[in-house]
Structure 1
Amino acid sequence: MSNQLVVLAGDACCTPIARERMPAETAAVLAPAFKALGDPVRLQLMSMIASAPEGEICVCDLTPAFELSGPTISHHLRTLREAGLVDADRRGTWVYYRARAGVLQQLATLLTAESA
């Protein structure tokens, strides 16, 4: 006798982890954010920005944390801005970054499994 599991029509093998399917419009908005976070440097930058004690962080504090050039860090930060993950505010020669809480909450909600 075979050890294969037989699933009858209409029987679900697993409990869904989300309540409902994401609308196409939401997917179109969130996909660039996930793509931007697919790079390890951008993921670290996002973590630093989101966890900044005052809610924002200067690029002058971000750059030294990496063994990358200033222009390379700026490129990664621009990608995060274009993906809608962060806002930037120029103050003199420095740029301050803060996380966009609403977008992060949408990403977190999508990735958080419902408890059974």
Structure 2
Amino acid sequence: MTGNRMNEPTASVPEQSQTIVDPGDQPLSPDEEIADIEKVLAVEPDDFQARCRLGELYFSKGRMDDALVEVKKAIEMAEGLRAEMNRSLAMYYSNLGTIYATKAMTDEAEAEFKHALDVFPHD
């Protein structure tokens, strides 16, 4: 038979299990992952992704009080990120309004300035 059968390996295709997967790598247990994330957060308390994952793991282990604490912290962090993004977005809308105003496109400029205030009315 020829080498064109689908199940025959070809010399040009490396075996993925040899190049991608390290047989020593095993997934962490939830308890091991919790311990690792707690260590990360001791050094980097503002690591949003770690904080979210820790809340999920605590929930999965039935540690509801701990899960509540972590999820509340994650929400607080997300709210802060949203405020920063809204401030930036408002600035971009304001910049767009300024460009329209410079081009004497007053209706468009007014709409963008209003949009900026809708997104972030604090400035």
TM-score class normalised by the smaller sequence? 0.3 to 0.5
Going by fraction, where is strand more abundant, 1 or 2? Answer: 1
TM-score of the superposed pair, with normalisation by structure 1:
0.33
TM-score of the superposed pair, with normalisation by structure 2:
0.32
State the structure with bigger RCO (CA 8 A, min sep 6), 1 or 2. 1
